[in-house]
Amino acid sequence: MNITLYSFGFKHGPPLADLVWDVRFLPNPYWVPELKAQTGQEERVARYVLENESGSRFLALLEPLLLFLLEAYAAREREAVTLAVGCTGGRHRSVALVEHLRVLLEGKGLTPQIYHRDIDKE
């Protein structure tokens, strides 16, 4: 099964996807001066987004759900699944989560395709 993970910014419009998750509830590095110019691909930003109460709780719920869904889709012989993760601008929170999910899935022997659609947009 082909798995595609997109990060995007809602202010640029959502992409077509099988699943769309809104992560605008996570802490936003945009409002932290030393993190604003960075992206979710950088460790400091990813830690800021994911290593807090809401981020930890979300990951604890999301990871088993995602693995369950992928297993269920594979059992139905689904050829492809596209998951889009959105935040406001598509540079910080959604990117950090997609990168986290990449590591999770690669650890399970899967090779997702990753697209950070809006990472270079202001």
Q: Count the neighbouring beta carbons within 10 Å of the beta carbon of residue 93.
A: 31
Residue 35 lies in a domain: yes
Residue 122: predicted pLDDT? 76
Rounded average pLDDT per 10-residue block, the chain, 122 residues: 98 96 98 97 98 98 98 97 98 98 98 98 84
Residue 33 lies in a domain: yes
- Vertex 32 angle, CA 28 and 35, to 5°: 90
Amino acid 40 reads G
Residue 52 lies in a domain: yes
The end-to-end CA distance of the chain, in Å, is 34
Residue 19: predicted pLDDT? 96
- The range of the structural domain enclosing residue 41 comes to 2-116
Residue 121 lies in a domain: no
Residue 65: predicted pLDDT? 98
Using a cut of 0.85, tell me whether the model's pTM lies above it: yes
Tally of domains within the chain: 1
